[in-house]
Amino acid sequence: MELAVEVKNLVKRYKELVALDHFNLAIREGEIFGLLGPNGSGKTTTINCILALLSYDKGEIKIFGKPMKPTSYDIKKDIGVVMQNVAVFDELNVFENIDYFCGLYIKDKNKRREYIDEAIEFVGLKEYIKFKPKKLSGGLLRRLNIACGIAHKPKLIFFDEPTVAVDPQSRNKILEGIEQLNRDGATIIYTSHYMEEVEQICTKIAIMDKGKNIAMGTKEELKQMIKNTESITVEVLGLNEQNLKDIHTLPHAYNVGYNDCRLSVHFSGGKHNVVRLLDYFQSKDISFGSVYSQQPTLNDVFLEITGKELRD
């Protein structure tokens, strides 16, 4: 597959602050690419540089193999942007908003009308075409925002937190829509703080921190980068200090906790950790209740790689 986006050695400074520190990124055509990072990691700066909305000090950016510049209008017509803050006109109704944004790229009226109708059908706003934004719910407003960003059928689409503050039904509708756009041929760049969304739809993921790309791969590849490979929780009464020491010596166990009759054990490998743990209980004639085994999530990966401290 050809590269849809290629970023090489990107450097962006704000006086003494280095927002992007020789940042590199390669996104292939046809991917749903998740771009993650804590607050202040450089995600927004990266996107603005890729879109040529922000100048940078050093580096190279190519879109579909062509250098991206502020005047690269031939490239920009193939890009769609759906930002976190809804950007529509309050004085225009649903149809008029989509018509305006689509008209920035599609001048042929018949073709534009066809594209608008398809976008309205795609986001499920057919019953609301005469509604103005203030009469729409949060979920419907988000869907209007998406329709305005994708009506001109772009080949590369940026989604920045598209499901913030929407109900579960609208969120599912939005995620299903993004996957359909990808099946229809669009390359997607997706940012979100909802890790389960990224894990659900993204084919490849990059984690940024302090202006650098610190980890990249599929969700399976990222999970292999961290220490925790399995967490086991058991409801069990009356464990003593010696029991906990014994459990800590089980193969691959590296963290053991016991609180309110719940034992938690983290493992850094191994295929039979539950069996070994239950064998230990049986050997000591220890009764136990429910047993839960959980594989690491993308959230576990994110926290281990970027750290758990709060970011402003």
Summarize pLDDT for 71-92 with one digit per residue, the tens.
Answer: 999 999 999 999 888 999 999 9
Report how far residue 82's alpha carbon sits from residue 160's, in angstroms, rounded to the nearest whole number.
6
pLDDT of the residue at 311: 64
Across all residues in the chain, what is the average pLDDT?
94
Q: Which residues contact 72 (CB under 8 A, 6 or more apart)?
A: 52, 63, 66
Tokens linked to 275:
């069996």
63 and 79 in contact (C-beta within 8 Å)? yes
Q: What is the C-alpha separation between 135 and 117, in angstroms, rounded?
A: 20
Taking residues 31-58, what's their average pLDDT?
95
Token digits of residue 208: 């940024």
Residue 310 has pLDDT above 70, yes or no: no
The two three-digit tokens of residue 17, written as one number: 């602050």
Task: Please state the rounded mean pLDDT for residues 226-237.
Answer: 94
- Spell out the domains of the chain, with CATH numbers in brackets: 3-223 (3.40.50.300), 230-295 (3.30.70.100)
The pTM of the full predicted model, rounded to 2 decimals, is 0.88
The pLDDT of residue 101? 97
* Confidence check: pLDDT of 303 > 70: yes
pLDDT above 70 (res 309)? no
Tokens of 67: 């250098």
Is pLDDT larger for residue 193 or for residue 60? 60
The backbone torsions φ and ψ at residue 198, rounded to the nearest 5 degrees and listed phi first, read -60, -45
